[in-house]
Amino acid sequence: MKYWIIEDSVGDLIRIEWNESATFNLQSSIGGQWVDYHCFTCYNIDTEQEALEHAWEVLENENVRGTDAWITEEEIKACW
């Protein structure tokens, strides 16, 4: 597994988890634990740089605060 912790456009920390194959998880910190809120698959990634670039693109395009695509912390907690 590879992990990157980045700051999104509103200052929240997001962890990107990549299984070094095709599966990604976007995670948010809740109660001191990283919790998956979005999982996706992308094939034909050969390098860590390609993986990070793809995950960043997904994050920018699919999880924008203030839209129906954004999953709130309350929604994540409700899944526990």
Full strand arrangement of the beta sheet holding 13-18: 2-7, 13-18, 23-30, 33-41
Please give the model's pTM, rounded to 2 decimal places. Answer: 0.73
**pLDDT beyond 90 at 25:** yes
Which pLDDT tens digit goes with each residue over 53-65? Answer: 989 888 877 655 5
Mean of the pLDDT values across residues 23-36? 92
Task: Give the phi and the psi of residue 74 in degrees, each rounded to 5.
Answer: -65, -40
- Percent of the chain exceeding pLDDT 90 equals 41
Q: What is the model's pLDDT at position 74?
A: 65
What integer best gives the mean pLDDT of the chain? 82
Domain residue spans of the chain? 2-78
* pLDDT of the residue at 22: 93
